[in-house]
């Protein structure tokens, strides 16, 4: 008996545009460009939210807060007819009102310098600015600086007036 063997036909993968596995090989250029564009937009939004330190406007607001605290203490001395002392501690970067106890804290990235009277009205004053019922004060200068900008809060000893002066660095 003759057995006849039929040839076995091997399966072949289809080729060309009908290939169903073509999408599994990688990403198209359009997909890569879209992902890069989305990531770049997200990264563009991140830097403004990160804190880079005290800005010029924020430093000015600290100077205004410090001046307001000093003015409030001067006004309290005039109203109460008794001396009021504002504590200025450059090391710990804070100012404390002698009238209300209110505190102004200066951030660590801001340099705080003071020039205060050592003796005022025949008394040692240390790290305070005293305001008297007459309107006079012991006077002093408080400097707030950061990088290339800064402000000075100046207290006039004769009038007790307080002014803020912008510093210019060259």
pLDDT of 107-165, one tens digit each?
988 999 999 988 888 888 889 999 999 989 999 999 999 888 899 999 999 999 999 99
Determine the pLDDT at residue 148: 83
Report the alpha-carbon distance of residue 110 to residue 125 in Å, rounded: 25
Determine the pLDDT at residue 16: 57
Domains in the chain (CATH in brackets) are 56-168 (3.55.40.10)
Determine the pLDDT at residue 70: 95
Sequence-ordered list of residues with C-beta below 8 angstroms from that of 36, at least 6 positions apart, any chain: none
What's the pLDDT tens digit per position in 33-42?
Answer: 999 999 998 8
pTM: 0.69
Report the alpha-carbon distance of residue 163 to residue 104 in Å, rounded: 17
Residue 60 CA to its chain's centroid (Å):
11
pLDDT at 24 over 60: yes
pLDDT at 50 over 70: no
Residue from 79, 111, 81, 77 nearest 97 by CA:
77
């Amino acid at each position: 008996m003759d057995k006849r063997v039929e040839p076995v036909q091997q399966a072949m993968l289809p080729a060309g545009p009908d290939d169903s596995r073509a999408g599994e090989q990688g990403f198209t250029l359009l997909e890569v460009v879209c992902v890069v564009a989305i990531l770049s937009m997200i990264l563009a939004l991140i830097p403004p939210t990160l804190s880079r330190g005290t800005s010029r406007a924020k430093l000015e607001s600290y100077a205004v807060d410090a001046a307001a605290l000093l003015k409030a203490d001067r006004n309290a001395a005039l109203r109460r007819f008794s001396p009021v002392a504002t504590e200025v501690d450059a090391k710990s970067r804070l100012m404390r009102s002698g009238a209300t106890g209110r505190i102004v804290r200066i951030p660590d990235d801001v340099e705080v310098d003071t020039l205060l009277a050592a003796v005022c009205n025949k008394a040692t004053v240390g790290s305070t600015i005293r305001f008297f019922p007459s309107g006079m004060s012991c006077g002093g200068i408080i400097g707030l600086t950061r990088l290339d900008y800064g402000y000075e809060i100046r207290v006039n000893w004769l009038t007790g007036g307080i002014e803020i002066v912008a510093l210019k660095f060259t």
